[in-house]
């Protein structure tokens, strides 16, 4: 892709983000860490796993957020952290949460371009970036008015993702690099995290799942 064309795509993306357009192709007491004897998926994709096998939905091969609820019948998909309702996010989490999104969405998108063009994972392997951006990928999928019908504690889920990323960002980065095995953490209160190469997923009380995928080499 020529540099001019890449810049044009980036400009279109940023313009869409600033004007609130949803861009999509379309994924928590004391935590207990499990590593041995746990069978976890090495990788996952930006795919909606509906309860009925009659339906399928796929997104990009990275930089996505997936929110499955309503007994596996409903799937909210976000790309690079976009898609969150600004007023809803501000009212539930405050101005700082929105500013964090504004700051990190372009970085998530730019790194995604580098990954798709050259296989460069760059920031996606950086523990500091993972610590700050994990919740941004999630917010794009869960903070939508349509998701309110799920009747789930979205603010609590958000806070738990923040706490999890702060505590485990180093181990997540090592797993993304293939230096650590996939692992699972029982955070308590029915919230369980699973981490594999390129993804982090929360199972919320077996009624919803929230997944952030930074990258995936799986073919579909």
Q: Is residue 198 within 8 Å of residue 41, measured between CB atoms?
A: no
- Give 75's contacts (C-beta < 8 A, 6+ positions apart): 26, 48, 50, 57, 66, 67, 68
Q: What is the tens place of the pLDDT at every residue in 167-204? A: 999 999 999 999 999 999 999 999 999 999 999 999 99
More confident residue, 146 or 14: 146
d(Cα 151, Cα 194) in Å, to the nearest integer? 23
pLDDT of 210 > 90? The answer is: yes
Task: Sort residue 57 into left (φ over 0), alpha (ψ -120 to 50) or beta.
Answer: beta
**Mean pLDDT for the stretch of residues 20-24:** 37
Report yes or no on whether pTM surpasses 0.85.
Answer: no
pLDDT score of 14: 44
């Amino acid at each position: 892709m020529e540099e001019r064309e890449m810049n044009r795509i980036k400009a279109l993306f940023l313009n869409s983000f600033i004007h609130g357009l949803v861009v999509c192709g379309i994924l928590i007491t004391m935590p207990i860490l499990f590593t041995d004897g746990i069978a976890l998926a090495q990788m996952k994709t930006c795919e909606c796993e509906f309860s009925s096998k009659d339906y399928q939905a796929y997104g990009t091969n990275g930089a996505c957020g997936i929110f499955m609820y309503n007994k596996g019948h409903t799937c909210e998909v976000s790309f690079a952290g976009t898609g969150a309702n600004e007023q809803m996010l501000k009212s539930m989490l405050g101005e700082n949460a929105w500013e964090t999104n504004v700051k990190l969405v372009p970085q998530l998108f730019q790194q995604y371009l580098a990954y798709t063009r050259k296989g460069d994972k760059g920031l996606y392997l950086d523990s500091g970036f993972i610590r700050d951006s994990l919740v941004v990928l999630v917010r794009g999928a869960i903070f939508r008015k349509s998701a309110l019908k799920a009747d789930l504690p979205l603010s609590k889920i958000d806070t738990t993702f923040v706490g999890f990323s702060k505590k485990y960002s180093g181990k997540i980065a090592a797993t993304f690099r293939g230096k650590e095995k996939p692992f699972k953490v029982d955070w308590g209160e029915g919230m369980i995290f699973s981490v594999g190469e390129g993804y982090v997923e929360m199972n919320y009380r077996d009624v919803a799942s929230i997944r952030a995928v930074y990258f995936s080499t799986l073919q579909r």
